[in-house]
Amino acid sequence: MARRRCASAPRLPSARSAPAAPRARLARAARIAPVLLLGCSAGRDGAEVGGRVSGSASGALAPNALAAPALAPPPISLEVVAGRWQMRAVPESGDTTPTSYVLTATADTSGWSIAFPDGPPVPLRIVAVDGDSIVAETGEYRSVRRRGASVHTRSVVRLDGDHLVGTSVARYRMAGADSVLRLQTEGTRRP
């Protein structure tokens, strides 16, 4: 059975017939040949193969061949986040008991706080508002997860639909490997 050769495919010399100097060009041609031949493997019925329409003399891209570029999320606005959020923080490993608290957010960088049940509000300092994220940190306060320990946290949150999601890193004032705890946070707006 004779092989049919695509008219647009380049004729490649064999490795035995090529002198030593052009072997680099031969190696390059061998790497790109499958890409060039992909268009030749299509039938004549106009079916899409490899993002191109077969049978098309121009080799034009099919309308759906180019995916739309991913759009960057819109920048976050403190005005949109302002309000009270019922938050839940769950450690990424180890004891995965959730910690619940209320985040109070304002339309500017002042007046933010978190409040644990039966505890005083802990002020939050907004470190950055960049892209779709808000970075906040607390000063040192008494931990509700580890009795008798002091902790300070740094959190990054963003809006995901009607949820506020992100991560927190808690640093406890104690020596040892367990002095840092990473948590996943999620919250919904309170009425």
pLDDT tens readout for residues 98-145: 999 999 999 999 999 999 998 899 999 999 999 999 999 999 999 999
| DSSP result, 14-33 | PTTTS-STTHHHHHHHHHHH
pLDDT tens readout for residues 157-170: 999 999 999 999 99
pLDDT band per the 50, 70, 90 thresholds, residue 62: low
Q: Parallel, antiparallel, or unpaired for β 133-138 and 141-142? A: unpaired
Whole-structure pTM value:
0.62
Domains and CATH numbers, the chain: 9-69 (no CATH), 78-189 (2.40.128)
